[in-house]
Amino acid sequence: MVKVGIVGGTGYTGVELLRILAQHPEAQLAMITSRKEAGTSVADLYPSLRGFVDLPFSDTASADLAQCDVVFYATPHGVAMADAPKMVAAGVRIIDLAADFRIQDPTVFERWYKLSHTCPDLLAEAAYGLPELNRAAIAKARVVANPGCYPTTMQLGFAPLLRNGLVDASHLIADCKSGLSGAGRKAELGTAFSEASDNLKAYGVGGHRHHPETVERLQALSDEAVGLLFTPHLVPMIRGMHSTLYARLKPHAMKTDVQALFEDAYRDEPFVDVLPPGAHPDTRSTRASNMLRIAVHRPDGPDGDTVVLLVVQDNLVKGASGQAVQCMNLMFGLPETMGLRHVPVLP
Amino acid sequence: MVKVGIVGGTGYTGVELLRILAQHPEAQLAMITSRKEAGTSVADLYPSLRGFVDLPFSDTASADLAQCDVVFYATPHGVAMADAPKMVAAGVRIIDLAADFRIQDPTVFERWYKLSHTCPDLLAEAAYGLPELNRAAIAKARVVANPGCYPTTMQLGFAPLLRNGLVDASHLIADCKSGLSGAGRKAELGTAFSEASDNLKAYGVGGHRHHPETVERLQALSDEAVGLLFTPHLVPMIRGMHSTLYARLKPHAMKTDVQALFEDAYRDEPFVDVLPPGAHPDTRSTRASNMLRIAVHRPDGPDGDTVVLLVVQDNLVKGASGQAVQCMNLMFGLPETMGLRHVPVLP
Amino acid sequence: MVKVGIVGGTGYTGVELLRILAQHPEAQLAMITSRKEAGTSVADLYPSLRGFVDLPFSDTASADLAQCDVVFYATPHGVAMADAPKMVAAGVRIIDLAADFRIQDPTVFERWYKLSHTCPDLLAEAAYGLPELNRAAIAKARVVANPGCYPTTMQLGFAPLLRNGLVDASHLIADCKSGLSGAGRKAELGTAFSEASDNLKAYGVGGHRHHPETVERLQALSDEAVGLLFTPHLVPMIRGMHSTLYARLKPHAMKTDVQALFEDAYRDEPFVDVLPPGAHPDTRSTRASNMLRIAVHRPDGPDGDTVVLLVVQDNLVKGASGQAVQCMNLMFGLPETMGLRHVPVLP
Amino acid sequence: MVKVGIVGGTGYTGVELLRILAQHPEAQLAMITSRKEAGTSVADLYPSLRGFVDLPFSDTASADLAQCDVVFYATPHGVAMADAPKMVAAGVRIIDLAADFRIQDPTVFERWYKLSHTCPDLLAEAAYGLPELNRAAIAKARVVANPGCYPTTMQLGFAPLLRNGLVDASHLIADCKSGLSGAGRKAELGTAFSEASDNLKAYGVGGHRHHPETVERLQALSDEAVGLLFTPHLVPMIRGMHSTLYARLKPHAMKTDVQALFEDAYRDEPFVDVLPPGAHPDTRSTRASNMLRIAVHRPDGPDGDTVVLLVVQDNLVKGASGQAVQCMNLMFGLPETMGLRHVPVLP
């Protein structure tokens, strides 16, 4: 059994970790901390967990996390890197669901997160937790940076095209739509029901933190300079993310069988599902599950040179907590799918 | 392993049976039939089931259901009773998610469903599939009538009060609110998104089929004549049911500790959760799970004689398919909770 | 032209006042104040008002509201009563959309709002702003207490029954469902989209501020002691309120033609629409309009003694800002429907 | 007064025409037809119109539409062109909200709508009803083709760029998101609440009827061959459309002040609102109004050569019925904004 700690268990990624780990055959939930809710029973805050989790929240400051084998940080940015040196020294492995270890370039990190990185050595050794693109490094990592939700869809979508040099890497477009749980469990006016329901808007067109993270990773897959236009939108649904990706094939690649390319790329991946040609995936076909689905389109047109990818996932599972548990499985030599075979909830 | 057949697997209760049974440790999905979709892969109709169910739909007319140990009928009213004699003769047990075996009085059944009952003998022996009130009969039944969604909440709510003769049985009020999946998977104008979203309405105030079903069952619990006013409402949510129940305590019962009464009544029930005093349960605290939760209130007032119960469930799980699997577990001597321990999906 | 001021124009009742008053033929929007947004253009905060309102928010402290003919208080409880004496002395009439002048008994007010009433004289003379029940008093009032949203539905529903002594006044039940805009424009966790969407819950079963307000007013209509059970619920819709009301006819009243009673009671009311028998009104049939609709039901049953009323309105219009403008029209001798003839927005 | 007829008044564009025209100062609603609902009172079908419209639906076959000055066709494709010759001969002007007169090339029309055009002469003379781009022609037209909802946003977005030859016309991208009312008032499974709520999907990536319509019109604005990639998505909201448009500036145009270009282009347009730099418009800022709002962005990046436009409208108003009334105003010499100055409904 893997002894698991969760720091910051009150947000949506925290409660989703609890939903998954409470029934993971090899995970033992040892400790859940919260600054605000210390002493409260987890099941009192989340009645959905009555009968499944009977721990109280521990105080973050005093909790003895060093007894755990792995600690998930479902915290605001900056918390994990403050703890990391001590935890790693104690032999505890870390999976950070925030951004502290996602961007390898500390200058870029500081520009976007307004925080100086406090442990650049651990940053340098940290593995980026996208198993489909980085499995080996995750398995042996002491620190794993769980990817952002949007970046997961953009990378798994563009990767087969970029790795093979098939598209103009300098003008990628990602038009992404996210359910509101991606904004976290917060008292904010912008995500209030009466503001966000029956409404849709773009945001962050001038710049979003998931942009530099994605560009850095896509760049590692491409021989050419990557240019990415990323437009996120808020959609009135709780869970679900739909990224519509556009990339122009290079002249030499016009005859590529793109469908086959994707099927080959992900044939053995348990959590990436390449749909049959012509499909238009619903986000709900992944609801509450760790599946990410991709449909490949190549519309007719004057040139017919553009590939359109439709990528869907549950932003809280494959886009966050499910992916983190997938990493944990790899880190502890467990079957990668263990505890993650939830059938999507539909309708 | 229990060999399971599903007749009419394309509706919401059908796909919910599939979600549950695909991961039930002792169920083997042998056959799923559909008149319209024969030959289609189940996973093509429901991409959420890709990788979990690889059966095609069989033709309802020609499927050899007699090879199954149990057949679930997730069909329109009338289908199960047409098949039942043949199936029972073949030694197959039946769980009907429609209404064919819910109402013991055939005259009442005919008035509300506009169908003559074609197998009154089987109706007479059928067990009403509400385990918390009828466990022993279900375990040995050949035919089980899975209760309606509203009736489940009304019976589990009123039962402790009626069985003990504590309230005026002649003037019960049930003001019930249901998510739209309760209306089934149909092309109907009234349940279209643009009609039903951002809207709420009552329906069936003049009469609803779940009324006679509930009254018949409540009457069996009460020495006095039961009178029930039942007002269902359609609420813009997919899953979820909230029944707000009102009953007036008799003078002799005014000092009853109603909270304790409910806690005692359901202490050992794995799927009925009596919440602490003062709770206001969210429907979502049961989403995609087989839990039903009850909060007991007794508001102050000039008389203070009225008990208000707040009862929530997922209408497709405890209100339909989960309850049916709970019955199956009882019928085949399996642990009652087997395959039904899903953590509610929140948010 | 009536010179109009609005204090606290940033909340939902404030923006709804702006939507209505911006096109009212006899209203001149002179001043809109806000503590937080002083100096901001109204249209910057609410782009929906670009081209319709070109005022900035004035500072609440320094605004010269005494130049107005009438001031609407769309503020937290307590603000209007602090201002009222000064304003009334200056000859300005006041319409308070908060609760300061709703409850005539100051003791009850203090118990529920945790505020001592600072101008009991003005409270005593204030008119309760429900035109259908109190038209004459409103017309000449210096201070009008705009009713709460729930109380409007409960009073217009129960009034014809109570005034005629037809029902048991001691056991009225109001099971009410409200859209989330009723909770106001606030950063709160409970009304966040991801918390409140696809969900329904009751709240305040143990006590809600609209209960004493309603009871006080209903009592004025009834010779008998009024007992009211009031259960509010939060429904995932922006606007809309549906109150399902239950009252038991007295033996002598069993033959009353209740439908005719309601049609007679509201025949000349421009904003109360009694629907044909058997109707189940959608809340959306009143969306963005000042209409309130009532359907009268009397279900069969063992006794058939219970009247069920279905009352719908837009909680922000007839339940708040539209009603306030209706009062303003009366106070200034304008046609009661002036500026309030919006066709409901459907779908 | 303009005598107005509506053919096919039961769908969403029909009821929206009724909402607008019922309060239009110069329109007299003379006749509303429906095949299915002949004889039914309009207000019985749409209780929101009680007190505003007291006409019954006339039978489409026998209605004497020739007495009208103008007839709106809110019908399936094909109906208007069947009637048009007769109506035009009778001196009645026509505004078709369906597609019969939208596409000038009959071959293209037939390919996409599977209908032979039955009055190519009238097609040739028909004016495309987008006032901002075609005002003069509309004013004198006998037949007006009201644009599709998506095409309105795409044309008003791309027009200033294309007319000035600033962008690569061959690789335009329109990633569009529509509320579900755009699918019409129909009993369809795909738009059922339980299917479409809490979900998002793309559709028609391989081809959509609004694509050829848009390309034909954009081509008329551009000296170069237009190539457009159009990806529509269904979003769980009733009303609202958000088109996110991407176009690459040509090298010579890199220094263009695009914001100023748009402000100049639409300075005098009453229904096109160019937002301040940096804005992210909500679809709801146009809800139930005839406004279309545009925000202009030019994100940084390796090249910084791409303009991103965020265009929002209410698909049923500026995207359909409001635009049709705007055309009517032009055709009859009325002020263009008459009857169309609704304040958007927010929240």
Instruction: Give C151-204 pLDDT, tens digit per residue.
Output: 999 999 999 999 999 999 999 999 999 999 999 999 999 999 999 999 999 999
* Greatest extent of chain B over all pairs of C-alpha atoms, in Å: 65
| pTM of the complete model | 0.97
Buried (b) or exposed (e) across B250-273, using 16+ Cβ within 10 A? Answer: beebeebebbebbbebbeeebbbb
Checking DSSP bridges between strand B201-202 and strand A93-96, what pairing results, if any? Answer: unpaired
Which positions in chain B touch C231 (Cβ < 8 Å)?
175, 244, 308
Residue B255, C-beta contacts closer than 8 angstroms, at least 6 positions apart: none
Alpha-carbon span C320 to A15, nearest angstrom: 38
Judge if the upstream peptide bond of residue A347 is cis by omega within 30 degrees of 0.
yes
Chain-centre distance for alpha carbon B300: 33
Chain B / chain D CB contacts < 8 angstroms? 68
Do C150-315 and C2-147+318-331 fall under one CATH topology? no
List pLDDT tens digits, range A299-336: 987 678 999 999 999 999 999 999 999 999 999 999 99
CA distance linking residue A232 with residue B156, whole number of Å: 46
* Phi then psi dihedrals of residue A41, to 5 deg: -70, 135
What is the spatial distance between Cα C19 and Cα D345, in angstroms, rounded to a whole number? 8
> Tokens 């869970």 sit at which residue?
A239
Could you tell me the CA-to-CA distances from A140 to A88, A126, A331, D46 in Å, in that order? 13, 10, 6, 65
> Which class for C84: exposed (0-12), middle (13-18), buried (19 or more C-beta within 10 A)?
buried
Rounded to 10 degrees, what is the CA torsion of B111, B220, B203, C196? -150
Whether the CB-CB separation of C170 and B303 falls below 8 Å is answered with: yes
Residue C244: strand, helix, or coil:
strand
Beta bridge partners of D73: D7, D96
- Confidence at residue C70, expressed as pLDDT on a 0 to 100 scale: 98
pLDDT in tens, C206-260: 899 999 999 999 999 999 999 999 999 999 999 999 999 999 999 999 999 999 9
D158 vs D221: CA distance, rounded Å? 9
DSSP classification of residue C275: P
A-C Cβ pairs (cutoff 8 Å, strict): 68
Among all chains, which residue has been given the structure tokens 């003791």?
Answer: C107
Reported residue count of chain D is 347
- State which CATH number among 3.40.50.720, 1.10.645.10, 3.90.180.10, 3.40.50.970 fits the domain covering A2-147+318-331: 3.40.50.720
Q: Can you give the pLDDT at residue B343?
A: 98
Phi, psi of C331 (to 5 degrees): -65, -25
Contacts of D222 in chain A (CB under 8 A): none
Nearest CA to B319 out of B183, B186, B187, B115 is that of B183
Report the pLDDT value the prediction gives residue D62, as an integer from 0 to 100: 85
Give the residue extent of every domain in chain A: 2-147+318-331, 150-315
pLDDT at B261: 98
Report yes or no: A285 at the B interface, CB cutoff 8 Å: yes
A176: annotated active-site residue: no
Kindly give the parts of chain B with pLDDT less than 50.
none
| Mutation site for B-interface testing, chosen from C108, C112, C167, C175 by largest number of B Cβ within 10 Å | C175
Residue A73 contacts B, CB cutoff 8 Å: no
**Residue C287 C-beta-side C-alpha neighbours within 13 Å:** 26
- Whether B301 contacts C227, CB under 8 Å: yes
Q: Is the pLDDT of residue C60 over 90?
A: no
Looking at the complex, does the CB of residue D191 fall below 8 Å from at least one CB of chain B? yes
Distance CA A18, CA A38 (A): 16
Is D46 at the interface with chain B, CB within 8 A? no
Burial of C85 (0-12, 13-18, 19+ CB in 10 A): middle
Both tokens of residue B240? 């979820």
End-to-end, the C-alpha distance of chain A in Å comes to: 34
Both tokens of D242, joined, read 């958000």
For A241-295, the DSSP string reads EEEEEEEEBPGGGTT--HHHHHHHHHTT-TTEEEPPTT----GGGGTTSS-EEEE
Task: Tell me if D320 sits within 8 A of D240, measured CB to CB.
Answer: no
Between chains, do D227 and A347 touch, taking CB under 8 Å as contact? no
Which residue among D198, D279, D345 sits closest to C288, beta carbon to beta carbon?
A: D345
pLDDT for B43:
95
* Band of residue C115 on the pLDDT scale cut at 50, 70, 90: very high
Minimum-distance CB partner of C303 among B170, B201, B239:
B170
Beta strands (DSSP E) in chain B are: 2-7, 27-33, 70-73, 93-96, 127-128, 143-145, 172-178, 201-202, 228-234, 241-248, 272-274, 292-297, 306-313
CB nearest B238 (choices: D180, D183, D197): D197
For chain A, say whether B295 makes contact (Cβ under 8 Å): no
Q: In the structure encoding, which two tokens stand for residue B347, read together?
A: 């948010």
To the nearest whole Å, the CA of B156 is away from the closest chain D CA by 26
Q: What are phi and psi of A232, to 5 degrees?
A: -85, 150
Q: What is the CA radius of gyration of chain D?
A: 20
Quick check: C89 contacting A, CB < 8 Å?
no
CA–CA gap between residue D102 and residue D155 (Å, rounded)? 13
Least Cα separation, residue C184 to chain A (angstroms): 9
Searching chain B, which residue's CA lies closest to the CA of residue A345?
Answer: B288
Q: Are strands D241-248 and D172-178 parallel, antiparallel or unpaired?
A: antiparallel
Q: Which CATH superfamily does the domain covering D2-125 fall into? A: NAD(P)-binding Rossmann-like Domain (3.40.50.720)
Report chain A residues whose CB lies below 8 A from the CB of D235: 177, 200, 235-236
Tokens of B276: 């602490």
> pLDDT per residue over A149-166, tens digit each?
999 999 999 999 999 999
> Of the listed D68, D119, D149, D327, which one is catalytic?
D149
Query: Which CATH superfamily is D150-317 part of?
Result: Dihydrodipicolinate Reductase; domain 2 (3.30.360.10)
- Sequence-ordered list of residues with C-beta below 8 angstroms from that of A183, at least 6 positions apart, any chain: A190, A191, A234, C194
Per-residue pLDDT tens digits for A56-109: 999 988 889 999 999 999 999 999 999 999 999 999 999 999 999 999 999 999
Q: Token pair for residue A230?
A: 């990323």
The residue of chain B nearest to residue D234, with distances taken between CA atoms, is: B193
The contacts of residue C336 (CB under 8 Å, 6+ apart) are C131, C270, C326, C329, C330
Cβ(A230)–Cβ(A206) under 8 Å?
no
Distance between CA atoms of residues D240 and D311, nearest Å: 11
Residues B179, B182, B188, B190, Cα dihedral to 10°: -40
**End-to-end C-alpha distance for chain C, whole angstroms:** 34
Inform me whether the C-beta atom of residue A239 falls under 8 Å from chain B C-beta atoms.
yes
Question: Check: CATH 3.30.360.10 for A150-315?
Answer: yes
- Scanning D143-182 for CB atoms below 8 A from A yields 170-171, 173, 175, 177, 179
Q: Report chain D's terminal Cα–Cα distance, integer Å.
A: 34
Neighbours of B61 (CB within 10 A): 8
pLDDT of residue C35: 87
Cα separation of B250 and B167, whole Å?
5
Cross-chain residue pair D193–B238, CB shorter than 8 Å: yes
Q: Which of B30-39, C134-143, C294-303 has the lowest mean pLDDT?
A: C294-303
Tokens of B292: 């039903």
Sign of CA dihedral B297, B301, B306, B311: negative
Q: How far apart, in whole angstroms, are the C-alpha atoms of residue B103 and residue C237?
A: 36
The dihedral through the CA atoms of D166, D167, D169, D175 has a sign that is: negative
> How many contacts (CB atoms, under 8 Å) link B and C?
148
* Amino acid type, D340: L
Q: Between chains, do C239 and D347 touch, taking CB under 8 Å as contact? A: yes
Whether residue C302 has pLDDT greater than 80: no
Give Dmax (Cα) for chain A.
64
Q: Which two tokens stand for residue C131?
A: 């035109």
> What is the pLDDT averaged over residues A130-147?
98
Q: Are the Cβ atoms of B196 and D193 closer than 8 angstroms? A: yes
Q: What is the pLDDT along chain D (347 residues), one digit of tens a residue?
A: 999 999 998 999 999 999 999 999 999 999 999 988 999 999 999 999 999 999 999 998 888 999 999 999 999 999 999 999 999 999 999 999 999 999 999 999 999 999 999 999 999 999 999 999 999 999 999 999 999 999 999 999 999 999 999 999 999 999 999 999 999 999 999 999 999 999 999 999 989 999 999 999 999 999 999 999 999 999 999 999 999 999 999 999 999 999 999 999 999 999 999 999 999 999 999 999 999 999 999 998 767 899 999 999 999 999 999 999 999 999 999 999 999 999 999 99
Distance in Å, alpha carbon of A227 to nearest chain D alpha carbon? 6
> Measured between alpha carbons, how far is B182 from B192 in angstroms, rounded to an integer?
13
Shortest CB distance from B192 goes to which of D192, D198, D237?
D192
